[in-house]
Structure 1
Amino acid sequence: MSKTPIDFKGSYFTLPVIYVYDVKPEEIRRAIEEKIKQAPKFFKNAPVVINVSGLDRDSTWNILSQTIIATGLHIVGVCGCKYDKLKKAILRSKLPLLTEGKMLNQDLSKIGYQSTLLKTRLINTPVRSGQQIYARNSDLIVTSNVSSGAELIADGNIHIYGMMQGRALAGASGDGQCQIFCTHFSLELASIAGQYWLSDQIPDAFLGKAARLCLQNNTLTIHPLISD
C-alpha cells in the first residue's frame, strides 16, 4: 500500500472533440443529439473537449456551453481559442484551455518523435466488450477478434487480423501518418489522429471486407487491404 494519500500517474483517455462553427443553440443541440443517436454507447454522457477555433470574437460562451451541457455531454476542456474575450469567459467557467494533440505532434516531429516508437504490442487473445488496449509509443497488432464495445488505441498503427466490431483509434498522439489495417472491417468507430468515422460512415462496399484506413489531406480515406 502507498504511504501517501494520492499518486500522480500518466494515463490515456479517449475524448471526442466537438468543433463548433455556429452559436445558434437550437442547431447545435439538434446536431449533437443526432450524433448521440448514431453511437449512443460512445457519445451518451461522454466527456468532451470543445474546439472553438471556428467561432468569431463576439461568440457568447455561456450560451454555447449551456446548450452542449443540456444534451447530456460533459465539457472537460476547450481548445482552439483565438480571442481574449472568449478565453476569459471560458476560464471564468472553471474550464481549462487545452492544446490539441495535432499541434503537439507538429512539435514532436521536429525532435524526431518517430524514432521513439517502441516494440510493437501484440495481443493474441480476444478483446472483450468493455476492455481497452493501449499501445503507448508503438504499433498494436491483434490476431484475434475484437468485440463490440471494446477499444483499441495506439500511438502508432493498428492491425487487426480477426473480426473487428469495436473501436480503433490509431495515431492517438496526433501522428496523421498512422493507419488502421483490418481483415474484417466492421468497426463501431475508427479514428486516426483525432479524425474519426462512425460505423454508418463506412462505405457499404468495405463493410466486412479487408480494408486499410488512412488520412489523405486530413480526411479519412479507405482502400482495399490488397490492391489489384
Structure 2
Amino acid sequence: MSKTSIKFKGSNFTLSVIHVHDAQPEEVRLAIEEKIEQAPGFFKNAPVVVNVAGLSRDISWPALSQAMLATGLHIIGVSGCNDNNLKQAILRSGLPLLTEGKTQQRSIAAAAEAVKAQLINTPVRSGQQIRSYNSDLIVTGSVSAGAELIADGNIHIYGIMRGRALAGASGNGECQIFCTHLSPELVSIAGQYWLSDQIPTEFLGKAARLCLQNGTLTIDALI
C-alpha cells in the first residue's frame, strides 16, 4: 500500500474574534485600522473570525468583508450568523460558518495537566517570542515592547512588562496573568484581550493580577 499523501490531525489555535455591529463598511475598516496601529505585531495580517450576531438583516456582506480584508486581516470563518440570507451570502463568498462553543474538554485537560513551569531568567527583548506549551511561564526579568509571551498556563512577570502576554493559549479560561509592573501593549487570557488603552489607568505601572470572570477580563491589585 502506498503511503498516504495527507494526514488529518486535531490541533488548537488561538484566534481573535471580531464582533461586528451595525455600521458602514468604511467605519468598520477605520476602526480595525486604528486597532492595528495600536498593536501591529499582534493584529497585522492576523487570521480572524468575524462574529456577525450584532448585524441587521439588510447588511451587505460583500461590502463589509471587502472593507475588513482591505485592512490586511485574513478572515478564516464567520460565527454568530442566524439569518438565512446572510448565511447564503457568507457561504457564496467561500467562507465557512463556525459555531462558537465551550472550550473542548481535550484543551482543558491538557491545560490542567500543566504542572511544570518554564523559567526565563533573562530579559525578553523586542521581537522575541517565548512560547510555553502545557505549562506556566515565569519571567524574572523585564519584557520589552514588541516582545511576546504565550503560555498554555499562567504567566508570571517579575520585571517591567511592556510587551504582549497571552495566557491560556490552549483555551483554558482558568489561567491568570501576574505582573509586578504592568505596562503592556496587550494582555490576553483564552482569547479575551485588552489593548493598552483598555487597561484601567490606576493599574498601569503597578502590580496587578488579570483573570477571567464570566468570560470577561478583570484586573485586581496584586498585594
TM-score, length-scaled by structure 1: 0.81
Tell me if structure 1 keeps the 8 A contact 2:156–2:179. yes
Q: Does 1:167 align with 2:164?
A: yes
Number of matched pairs? 221
Q: CA separation in 2, counterparts of 1:112 and 1:87?
A: 34
Q: CA separation in 2, counterparts of 1:115 and 1:180?
A: 16
Q: Secondary structure, in 3 states, of the residue corresponding to 2:64? A: helix
Q: Does 1:199 align with 2:196?
A: yes
Q: Does 1:214 align with 2:211?
A: yes
Percent identity of paired positions between Structure 1 and Structure 2 = 71
Question: Equivalent residues in 2 for 1:23-102 (5 A)?
Answer: 23-100=23-100
Unaligned ranges ≥5, structure 2:
none
Tell me if structure 2 keeps the 8 A contact 1:25–1:64. yes
Structure scoring higher RCO (CA < 8 A, sep ≥ 6) equals 2
Greater CA drift, 8-17 or 160-169: 8-17
Aligned-residue offset at 1:66: 0.9
Aligned-residue offset at 1:116: 3.0
Tell me if structure 1 keeps the 8 A contact 2:17–2:51. yes
Larger strand share, 1 or 2: 2
Output the amino acid matched with 2:76.
V
Output the amino acid matched with 1:26.
E
The change in CA–CA distance for 1:146 and 1:7 in structure 2 (over 3 A counts) is farther
RMSD: 3.0
Find the partner of 1:137 among 116, 121, 134.
134
Find the partner of 2:153 among 147, 156, 164.
156
Matched with 1:183 is 180
Q: Secondary structure, in 3 states, of the residue corresponding to 1:148? A: coil
